[in-house]
A and B are shown apart, each in its own frame.
Chain A
Amino acid sequence: MANVRLLDIKKSFATLQVLHGISLDIQSGEFISLLGASGCGKTTLLRIVAGLESVSSGGVEIDGRSVTNLPPEKRDIAMMFQSYALLPHLSVYENVRFPLRMRHIGSRDEQDAHVKAALETVQLGHLAERRPRQLSGGQQQRVALARAIVSKPKVLLLDEPLSNLDARLREDMQVELIEIHKRLGLTTLFVTHDQEEALSLSDRIVLLNAGRIEQQGTPDDIYARPATGFASNFIGSANLVPAQIIDTPGGPAGKLADGQLLPLPASETTRGEANLALRQEDIALAAVNTDGTLKADLRTRVFLGARNRYVLSLAGTTIRALTANDVLIEDGAPVRISIAPERIRVIKG
């Protein structure tokens, strides 16, 4: 366990700058997600913490000691790769023992105990003698996780470890990661492009966009109060609808491009041009015209099993709505939508 400090890290590949000064304080035992779309620099940042990539400027500190110029093998870290990177010529047991061997941790008997404990943690004790190729993707993933935690590293780095698993296994592994993190309390940096994963696993989410920190905060915080249009769109995939915020007799409201008025909470202070962030799950659909509802055009309905996703056109902007599947509207029918004012976030600019 250790705290990690990133000090104004900048990174360029040739003429392309991928990180524009990232500073971050990570508390000992904290689980942090680096969340962002592909190309945002999140994996580069993780590789810099691992020492696999050098910085152009800035530095990395682990437990107050600068490791900026230390190669990965000299840093007390462990990293789990997207491809798992298991050594194909070694058994599961030897793969998990590898970091202990390389770092000369413990006697042979102690190593044996550590390896067995790590394999038990990921419930793979019975497959110790298998080769990686003889395992399923989910099992290989568990071996990689066991190998990453066996040496009790100061910092655990996870590079999209769940992205190659199918949906069901991914949910299982999420639970497992949460439990292992609770038990071992390892300082963990988790790279993902999946907002749900970040929301369910992290103590804190760091949202990256084009090499800069867009927003950071607890999952609750970042979900409830996205600071920017990018954040609200990326987390919770909110719809962004441009509007003019004006005062009406009933309080502030958003005037959409087609003149329809969307009531906002009385506490809203922004006026003028803004974007309204409307979460998919907050949009209620109705077939009949009632007070306070807006007119929209139904374009497509996507059946998702437990829910329906409707693609609508609202004042010329395409928006999506997620509803329980008891709401059923025929294609091409007129649609009315409504949103509770307190669920709407106004994002300036």
Chain B
Amino acid sequence: MVRAVPTPLRILAIVFVILTGLILLAPLIVVVGVSVSENQFIAFPPQGFSFKWYEKVLASPEYLSAGATSLQIALLVTLSATVIGGAAAIALHRRQLPFSDILATFFLSPLVLPTIIYAIGMLMFWSAAFGPVSTFTLWIGHTVIALPYVVRTTLAVLAESDPFLEEAARTMGAGRIQRLFHVVVPQCIPGLAAGAFFAFNISFDEAVLSLFLRKPGLTTLPVQIYGQLEFSPDPSVAAVSSIMIALTIVLIVIIDRMLGLSRFAST
């Protein structure tokens, strides 16, 4: 029998959980609160209630263009990171590559390398090798940063899959390509979907690399928010942040339903 947790310890645990939740949520509450303030300055608690900062954001060509850039890059990164990361995970899982373990660690290295160092390196390398940066540069940069997440989630799903499925498919006449599309990829879908979600969010939120590779016409939303905060801070920053929070929540709900569905479908 498991011994009951003593009451004082239990109370302590509950307090700890509530505190953790509060600390996680507090910044979001403040941001959303500020975004509906009538005040001209960023101040909490908000005074009055108004959607005027949302109106300002939606009427601002800078925000809209930065938002479009971010969305475009995030979608491209989702696609590239999912395809490359998924393929890498499948290859790593089979251990048919030489130095699989070293490669696996290498694929995860963007997680541990400080982004600022990667950003400086990327800027210097790109300028020296290819000249001026472009959307393409940012796409590649974000893909590198997002890749480990797709590799991880897909590897995790593959690790739990039945290792005999592919052999069974072989005895049923499935060749290499058929096995890939009828057996291996369908197994990976929950991991790929989770990885795609991470990839989109990481690209959409990424500020450091975007800041280094910034130039007119290539400003992402986080960079725009940063600039706005630096030069003319007003609650529109909170409004655009709230929109980003809402977008993330919508994405989580969609992915959860999809994952839930695909899990239902795959099990």
Contacts and interface: CB of A to CB of B under 8 A. Distances in A.
Interface in B229-267: 265-267
B187 interface: yes
Interface of A: 50-52, 71-73, 77-79, 81, 83, 85, 87-89, 98-99, 102-103, 131, 133, 147, 151, 157
Contacts of B169: 87, 98, 102
Contacts of B50: none
Given A89-B187, A131-B265, A81 B173 contact: no
Interface string B166-198: 011111111100100011001101000000000
B162 A85 contact: yes
A52 B167 contact: yes
> Which residue, B167, B173, B183, has most C-beta atoms of chain A within 10 A?
B173
Nearest to B183: A87
Q: Interface of chain B, helix or strand or loop or mixed?
A: helix
Contact of B171 (A79, A83, A87, A88): A79
Contacts of B13: none
Interface in B142-169: 162, 164-165, 167-169
Interface of B: 162, 164-165, 167-175, 178, 182-183, 186-187, 189, 265-267
Contacts of A71: 170
B171 A103 contact: no
B170 A72 contact: yes
Given A81-B164, A83-B162, A89 B171 contact: no
Nearest to B264: A131
B267 A133 contact: yes
A83 B172 contact: no
Given A72-B171, A147-B172, A157-B171, A131 B267 contact: yes
A314 B29 CA distance: 84
A103 B267 CA distance: 25
Contacts, number: 68
Contacts of A151: 172-173
Contacts of B170: 51-52, 71-73
A85 B175 contact: no
Nearest to A53: B167
Given A87-B168, A99-B172, 11 more contacts: A51-B170, A52-B167, A73-B170, A78-B172, A81-B168, A89-B186, A89-B187, A98-B174, A99-B173, A103-B172, A151-B172
Given A102-B178, A133-B267, A85 B173 contact: no
A259 B101 CA distance: 66
> Which residue, B164, B168, B169, has most C-beta atoms of chain A within 10 A?
B168
A83 B267 contact: no
B129 to A, nearest CB: 43
B265 A78 contact: no
A88 B168 CA distance: 13
A137 to B, nearest CB: 14
B179 to A, nearest CB: 9
Which 9 interchain pairs have the tightest Cβ spacing?
A85-B168, A103-B173, A99-B172, A102-B173, A79-B171, A72-B170, A102-B174, A89-B186, A85-B164
A41 to B, nearest CB: 18
Contacts of B172: 73, 78, 98-99, 102-103, 147, 151
A99 B175 CA distance: 11
A324 B175 CA distance: 56
Given A99-B173, A102-B169, A89 B266 contact: yes
